[in-house]
Amino acid sequence: MIIDCSKYSGKCSCGHEHPLETRMVVVEYGALHRFDEYMSQCGLTGRRTVLYDTNTYNLPGMVHIPADREIVLEANGLHSEKSLIESIVPQLDNPQVIVTVGSGTLMDFARYNANSLGIPFVAVPTLASSDGFTANICSVVIDGHKRSIPMHAPALVVTDLNIISGAPMFLTVSGIADILSKHISLADWLIAHLVSGEHYCERVAILAREAMELMNRSVAGLLRGEEPDFESMATAQMYSGLTMQMMGSSRAASGAEHLIAHLVEMKPPRFESAHGIHGECVGVGSVLAAEEYHRLASLGRPRARAFEPLDEGWVREKFGPLADGILAENAHDVLSTFDPQRIVDVWDEIVYIISQIPSAEELAGTFRDLEGKYRLSDIGIDESLKPEILDISSAIRNRLTLARMRRVLDFGE
């Protein structure tokens, strides 16, 4: 499959242009053998630095790309932290294009530095464990806080299914969960649009749903015991990433469920033992959010409650040393930007949107049958924290989700 990205950009009925930096996405067996051909088709010429880590460099079946400069970073301890990312600049040797061969972390190393140097970069994913490859979001830890900063997207993505298909199954399952989570993120986005008038785009939502449907069909095949359809699964990841690029934000791809993954990375007090890769945490987050959203829908129409800022004492208690960052993030709380009565007025529509989300049992059952993670305890979080986890995770990011809206709603409980 070769995705010509130009068909997703251009004037849209939502009023935006959706410019895409990614010109082409290749998802095929043996794609790396034709790497130079794809590079020249996209006009990506000039001095080339290729970035690997010790794992991706030595992957079975890896075809090493012709390079003017090759850098192999030690995989052990590699993480997306600003000073670590910036420390490799001298080694890059003034490239005109950076090619990165690896997963999300290595992708951020290329993305961040290509952004600073004002040059394009090319992504060669070695896993399909998340949807960040075609995105323009850099997830980087700055002064201890996880930040998702819009930066450049790869000009070209070359996915060789010979390599992707060799990845351990738990990584594939993590990627599945990252896409199935769009049930929650798309619901959150549409609900936010209805209540606050936040920008919404049907073209983007359709592409995100297409990713979800491709993944659903692949999962159904897997559960029937068929050979994994890596082409469909990887294409679903690429579509989802493109929605982020089209929006200039992760709005379509990341809602209340993704904040559980952020929580696991930040490790506030009582979450010190939390662990799990991105999609695994997102999967558990999706089960939690599905359960809570269906529960809210069953409670009947709520009453509006006046907005109150997050209580500083509560933030300090829940976030400890991370509290100042959380307070800053919530200084202009999105909940204060519209009348909470609006949520009550469109409650019937919200209930309908929730009815389209699979039940928590169904999502958990899918992840369980794929031998993936679906419970808090699977990602090192004590089940006793369940009643407050969505309150805590919602405070991490000032994004309008139904989970956050609960602060201005009274269900008479």
- Please measure the distance between the N-terminal and C-terminal CA atoms of the chain and give it in whole angstroms: 51
Q: Which is nearer to Zn ion, 16 or 375 (CB)?
A: 16
CA-closest candidate to residue 183, choices 348, 354, 392? 354
Interface stretch with Zn ion, choices 111-119, 184-192, 198-206, 269-277 (CB under 5 A): 198-206
Nearest approach, Cβ of residue 383 and Zn ion (Å)? 24
Q: How many chain residues touch Zn ion (CB under 5 A)?
A: 6
Residue 176 found at the interface with Zn ion (CB under 5 A): no
Which span sits near Zn ion by CB under 5 A: 59-67, 174-182, 222-230, 267-275?
174-182
User: How many whole angstroms from its chain centre is CA 226?
Assistant: 27
* Burial group, residue 175, by CB count within 10 angstroms (0-12, 13-18, 19+): buried
Could you give the CA distance from residue 150 to residue 135 in angstroms, rounded to a whole number? 9
Q: Where are the beta strands (DSSP E) in 103-167?
A: 121-125, 137-142, 145-150, 156-160
Closest by CA to 141, choosing from 25, 295, 279, 266, is 266
Q: Are strands 303-304 and 48-53 parallel, antiparallel or unpaired?
A: unpaired
Instruction: Pick the binder of Zn ion from 34, 199, 203, 217 (CB under 5 A).
Output: 203
In which residue are the tokens 């493109």 written?
242
Q: Which residues in the 91-150 window bind Zn ion by CB under 5 A?
A: none
Site map 10..29 versus Zn ion, x via CB under 5 A: --x-x-x-------------
16 or 193, CB closer to Zn ion? 16
Nearest distance in Å: CB 354, Zn ion = 21
Residues 6+ apart with CB under 8 A from 399: 188, 251, 254, 255, 334
Considering beta carbons, is residue 27 or 201 the nearer one to Zn ion?
201
Binding to Zn ion by residue 178, rule CB under 5 A? yes
Smallest separation (angstroms) from Zn ion to the CB of 91 = 29
Residue corresponding to tokens 């791809």: 253
Shortest Å distance, C-beta 199 to Zn ion: 9
Distances (CA, A) of 168 to 129, 275, 280, 281: 10, 18, 14, 17
Compute the least distance from the CB of residue 193 to Zn ion, in Å.
12
Question: x/- contact string, 289-328, with Zn ion (CB under 5 A)?
Answer: ----------------------------------------
Contact region for Zn ion (CB under 5 A) — 6-14, 265-273, 302-310, 312-320? 6-14
Pick 12 or 304: Cβ nearer Zn ion? 12
Position 201 contacts Zn ion (CB under 5 A)? yes
Order of strands, edge to edge, in the sheet holding 156-160? 2-4, 24-28, 156-160, 121-125, 97-102, 48-53, 69-73
257 binds Zn ion (CB under 5 A): no
- Cα dist from 312 to 208, 322, 327, 383, 401, whole Å: 36, 12, 7, 25, 21
According to the binding rule CB under 5 A, does residue 267 interact with Zn ion? no
Stretch that binds Zn ion, among 172-180, 207-215, 268-276, 364-372 (CB under 5 A): 172-180
| Interface positions with Zn ion (CB under 5 A) | 12, 14, 16, 178, 201, 203
